[in-house]
Structure 1
């Protein structure tokens, strides 16, 4: 199947170039803002428009700063130790989802504490809309022709501009489907049911870890890292703890609800 070769720059103003990749994240943040506003109104959480806006802005800063530092630490530490000023050269590319996740968690905990909102309330709302940005971001990767898949002879394989003459899995599209569409649908269904606080957040952590582990089976590992411990990619190594920790916290959350509920669902009282 021919690669579409879409120009990564959708608007060239000479001095400034606007790229599809950045636009995808902007669209994702905008959709997240309106979805969270709708959810807060429906659930009666009492967050104002300004609070929702601030929440999205804090999350954006967490993604950007955490993503850049995560890439520096996880994917190319030796290079950035030798060239520390390159850490700030974001226009050269290099962002890590796992670093962005940590940055976002820190930023939203700070936001929740400042606004006196329960942390899990913020975490569940943010997690529910995160797959929107992930799916759009992977589409941006596809347009850029980056993070392509491993060599393959499947009928839908593509020859990417930076991947040599070899036909490869369009793994960016796999990730958009798994981390975007599938994960968003799963979290939406979970959110429709009465669950302990934090369930949507920890389901996101677990679900993303599973989706990324699967997607990495088709994705070409970073050339300067390759495979680690035999056949594991860096993405899999960073995602496996998400599955373990997320699953543990989900079980713990439901156990706590069982311990604090009576046979008919009421709270247990002791005297």
Structure 2
């Protein structure tokens, strides 16, 4: 049995300013996504993106992730609490970000950027799909460092006690998600992006991959105590992930079919 190291959530102090690990993980995710975006722009000429456009687009992504992620958590998970304590909505350093809200924020940001640059929306989402996985991976590491979102009880040898929660050995589900949603999905999408594919295919890979991984990991993740399990014993995260898988399958089939028709 392992014990969570109970890290200090503050990484460094710069005078009166406290730099938290949670914020640093978001910064690392942004830097990794920026690196991959620049690499794609320089090595994949069929995309017709330049480095300046990548930097502009990443600004849209950052705002989409932060605003959408926070508002998604507020609306999907704890609306009653935040409507009663509206100032706490801005306390992002305390944690509380929803991937599905961030996903909607990035989707809206992608639509705005596509309109600005006169690109097809799916061209933009195909470009960003491999980039966001690194933010997901680092974000889950931030959850682990904070000791938040622990898993369900387990007797497996790598079960971990999170003293902030209780003295029960639990799945380190944050690490599962960091590996699957960040490292594995990111590697799949980066490899898939190395050759030209029909528009929409990379976006469909992301939807199917993330939705499937998140759905599976949720079986090891402790449901939020203010929500519990919902219909059919599924968690909120699972119910929000199912539509992603369904839409991903539809988009994959539609994109391939459209490409076949154009080639004929």
Shared fold (TM-score greater than 0.5)? yes
1: distance between equivalents of 2:199 and 2:71? Answer: 30
Residue segments in structure 1 that go unaligned for 5+ positions in a row:
263-271
CA distance 1:185–1:203, shift in 2 (3 Å): same
Task: Show the 5 A alignment for 1:90-169.
Answer: 90-169=92-171
2: distance between equivalents of 1:188 and 1:92? Answer: 32
Structure number with the bigger relative contact order (C-alpha 8 A, sep ≥ 6) is 2
Q: Bigger radius of gyration, 1 or 2?
A: 1
Deviations 1:139-172 (A, max 9, x none): 1111110011001111011111222011111111
- Normalising by structure 2, what TM-score? 0.94
What is residue 198 of structure 1 aligned with on the other side? Answer: 200
2: distance between equivalents of 1:216 and 1:30? Answer: 28
User: Partner of 1:260: helix, strand, or coil?
Assistant: helix
Deviations 1:50-77 (A, max 9, x none): 2211111110000011011111111011
2: distance between equivalents of 1:252 and 1:197? Answer: 10
2: distance between equivalents of 1:38 and 1:247? Answer: 28
Count of aligned residue pairs for this structure pair: 262
User: Partner of 1:17: helix, strand, or coil?
Assistant: strand
Is residue 149–residue 221 contact of structure 2 (8 Å, CA) maintained in 1? Answer: yes
2: distance between equivalents of 1:120 and 1:74? Answer: 26
Deviations 1:57-113 (A, max 9, x none): 110000011011111111011222333333233233321000000001101210121
What is residue 5 of structure 1 aligned with on the other side? Answer: 6
Deviation at 1:193, TM superposition (A): 4.0
- Normalising by structure 1, what TM-score? 0.92
What is residue 33 of structure 1 aligned with on the other side? Answer: 34
What is residue 19 of structure 1 aligned with on the other side? Answer: 20
Give the aligned CA root-mean-square deviation in angstroms. 1.5
Deviations 1:234-266 (A, max 9, x none): 10010011001111111111111222222xxxx
1: distance between equivalents of 2:194 and 2:178? Answer: 23
CA distance 1:102–1:36, shift in 2 (3 Å): same
Deviation at 1:4, TM superposition (A): 2.4
2: distance between equivalents of 1:77 and 1:85? Answer: 13
